[in-house]
Amino acid sequence: MKKIMVNESLCIGCGACVAIDPNHFDFNSQGLSTAKIEDVENIDQNLASAVESCPTNAIKIAETENDTIQEMPEAA
Ligand code: SF4
């Protein structure tokens, strides 16, 4: 499994991720991005594009194995 994590201290609320991948991202009450679905099996094209589009690198996809979260290397 993988876990979508949005760092709200980095998010500037530009909306790119929400526009590109509304299945996984939405705005919270502060106008910042939040993951609608945190746990995903695979990184689909929209999710990968949303991660790449973030101007502040606020979105991370972590690998969750054995209940531990390991940050994945930056997407190539
Ligand atoms: S693309 Fe990045 S900065 Fe923009 S709303 Fe999404 S998480 Fe926030």
Res 71: pLDDT: 63
Domain spans in the chain, listed from the N-terminal domain onward: 2-71
pLDDT tens-digit readout, 21-74: 999 999 999 999 999 999 999 999 999 999 999 999 999 999 987 656 666 655
Q: Which of 15, 20, 52 is nearest to 34 (CA)?
A: 15
Q: Is the CB of residue 16 below 6 angstroms from any atom belonging to ligand 1?
A: yes
Output the pLDDT for position 76. Answer: 46
User: What distance in angstroms lies between residue 54's CA and the mean position of ligand 1's atoms?
Assistant: 5
Compute, in angstroms, the gap from residue 17 CA to the centroid of ligand 1.
Answer: 6
CA angle (12, 9, 24) in 5-degree steps: 65
pLDDT of residue 70: 64
CATH topology of domain 2-71: Alpha-Beta Plaits (3.30.70)
pLDDT at 64 (0 to 100): 86
Distance CA 18, CA 21 (A): 5
Residue 4 Cβ contacting ligand 1 at under 6 Å: no
CA 44 to chain centre: 12
pLDDT at site 22: 98
Q: What is the pLDDT of residues 6-31, one digit of tens each?
A: 999 999 999 999 999 999 999 999 99
